[in-house]
Amino acid sequence: MSLNEITDFAEQLARDAGELIRREREHNTLRTDYKKQTELVTHADLMADEFITRAIQQRFPDHRILSEESMPDLAQAESLDTPLWIVDPIDGTVNYAYGHPQVAVSIAYAEQGRVRAGIVHAPFANETFRAIEGENATLNGNAIAHSNCSVPREALFATGFPYTKDNLAPLINRLDTMIHHCRDLRRIGSAALDICWVACGRLDVYYETVSPWDFAAARLIAREAGATVGHFSEVPAGYPEDLWGQDILISAPALFEPVRALLQQASQ
């Protein structure tokens, strides 16, 4: 199967899952629970996760899956022997539970630790971001590109915060630095959409520490839209950079180095 066919399959899956979670939110009583005592999860998360993973398993029984809800084993990201699907059935679960529209289904496909295809579908906005490695990124079929912002003072940035609150001081230091050197902050609540919004110029910078399912698809979309993608700390030797979620930085190209310097200084 060609990479384009794989991406078409992923896009249809994301759209169908998006319709499922949209219907659940609009027509049924929202059922919620918590995992790890702090992280909100909804019944729709589990339904969409089961729908996506089952479809992948039926179509590609030899492929591996890294999925936030049903298969969250991060060791999968380090194994390079077979293709890997990285799935977040609802990125922005808190937004979803509160009725905010910034919600996305994220599906990425990787080979040898390299993300080759990515889909981020926002069902309430009816927006589908798509990328294949080496081709232009698109939004609803139209090519997208980063903002070309070149001065931190004029940059609109996004970030997020963890559910656990036991080590917030470094994050607050970085936030303080960025607020003082950039135009303003947007706290959207979905890492996948934060990154896609950098890809299409709605934001200029995104930084955060997140899990592979939050960013794998969107990172490829941003890269293929011409944004610079990387980290403001070192990636461990031998770990696939496309799937390393610590200290991610994604921005318009001219902003990357000055913002990385700001974040590194704030992290000391």
> Could you give the CA distance from residue 253 to residue 256 in angstroms, rounded to a whole number?
6
**Do 152-266 and 3-143 fall under one CATH topology?**
no
Collapsed DSSP state (helix, strand, coil) of residue 67? strand
CATH class of 3-143: alpha beta
Name the binding residues for Mg(2+).
68, 88, 90-91, 214
> 152-266 in CATH: which number?
3.40.190.80
Is the pLDDT reported for residue 70 higher than 90? no
Q: What is the pLDDT of residues 107-138, one digit of tens each?
A: 999 999 999 999 999 999 999 999 999 999 99
Please state, in angstroms and rounded to a whole number, the distance separating the CA atoms of residues 33 and 250: 32
The domain limits of the chain are 3-143, 152-266
Instruction: Pick out the residues of the known binding site.
Output: 68, 88, 90-91, 214
Listed residue (180, 157, 175) closest to 255, CA to CA: 157
pLDDT tens for 72-84 read: 687 888 778 899 9
Q: What is the pLDDT of residues 184-218, one digit of tens each?
A: 999 999 999 999 999 999 999 999 999 999 999 99
